[in-house]
Amino acid sequence: MKAQIAAALCVLAWVAGWVSVSSAAAQEIREPTVEEGVLELELFGTRTFDNNRDKNNEQNHKFEIAYGVNSWWKSEIEAIVKKDLGSKLKYDATEWENIFQLTPQGKYWLDAGLLLSYERPTRHDDPDEVEFGLLLQKEVGPLLILTNTIFSRQIGQNSGKGIGFEYAFQAKYPWRRELEFAVQAFGEPGRLTGFERISDQEHRIGPFLLGKFNIGEVPGSFKYTAGYLFGLTSGSPSGTVKLKLEYEVPF
């Protein structure tokens, strides 16, 4: 365990000098745990709804493949497709994401993990982005509480300055394996050196359904996450639909 913690902290120390502003509010929940030898195929998508055309019908889709390399490291490649105001869906970037599990699940008073990712946009004049963060999970009574605190830096030409901060939160009630209830919240206050006005920040919260199930003799299992986020500030879209489908199989 000391080896993976040391490796993750070394990477974190290297990234810490490159921190900057992020391009979009956090929308995914990342768990700090890793399943060794499990191959994951994921589809993730969001769409915004708002009377203001500047915030309506923005779409963010990801096609992901991940693998639990060992008991403490999961590596993932993502193809990101986006639709901004006045544009069509387009292949926007490729991201390499890694999760390092820092503590054995359930051994201590909380589970901890480290996120590290690198995003390369398809447009040559757009900056690359390095992202890192702390992933924490804890059981509180019947609920499973999960928090992500994410920091990022743009690098290369046209890169921004300052420290970008995002957060993600989930409180989940694990009723049944096939059907769980949760509340998720996401936000982007802005740069740590000077947050934007509350009204201009993005903060969203809403109800979600989650589950995991098997289909007949098909190997592996299927997972889903579906829900609706309500905007809490004028800088946020009034509503956002989010859907994630995942297929996991030992490999």
Does residue 199 surpass a pLDDT of 80?
yes
Given a contact cutoff of 8 angstroms between Cβ atoms, the answer to whether 89 and 119 are in contact is no
- Name residues whose C-beta falls within 8 Å of residue 243's C-beta, 6 or more positions apart in sequence: 43, 44, 45, 46, 224, 225, 226
**CATH code, 199:** 2.40.160.40
pLDDT tens readout for residues 68-125: 999 999 999 999 999 877 778 899 999 999 999 999 988 999 999 999 999 999 988 8
pLDDT band at 247 (very low <50, low <70, confident <90, very high): very high
Average per-residue pLDDT for the chain: 88
- pLDDT-above-90 percentage for the chain: 69
Residue 31 CA to residue 145 CA, distance in Å, equals 10
Cα atoms in the Cβ-side hemisphere of radius 13 Å centred on 208 = 28
- pLDDT-above-70 percentage for the chain: 90
Q: By C-alpha distance, which of 119, 99, 131, 94 is closest to 19?
A: 131
Does residue 142 surpass a pLDDT of 70?
yes
pLDDT of residue 25: 43
* C-alpha distances out from residue 63 to 39, 76, 122, Å: 14, 10, 15
Q: Which residue has the higher pLDDT, 159 or 2?
A: 159
pLDDT of residue 26: 53
pLDDT of residue 145: 97
Tell me if the pTM is above 0.85. yes
Residue 17 CA to residue 19 CA, distance in Å, equals 6
pLDDT of residue 90: 92
Given a contact cutoff of 8 angstroms between Cβ atoms, the answer to whether 24 and 93 are in contact is no
pLDDT of residue 93: 95
Structural domain range at position 114? 2-250
Identity of the residue numbered 188: E
- Name residues whose C-beta falls within 8 Å of residue 225's C-beta, 6 or more positions apart in sequence: 29, 208, 209, 210, 242, 243, 244
pLDDT tens readout for residues 33-56: 999 999 999 999 999 999 988 888
Does residue 22 surpass a pLDDT of 60?
no
pLDDT tens readout for residues 183-198: 999 999 988 888 888 8
Q: Which residue has the higher pLDDT, 5 or 88?
A: 88
Length of the chain: 251
Residue 131 CA to residue 185 CA, distance in Å, equals 19
Residue 87 CA to residue 218 CA, distance in Å, equals 39
How many structural domains compose the chain? Answer: 1
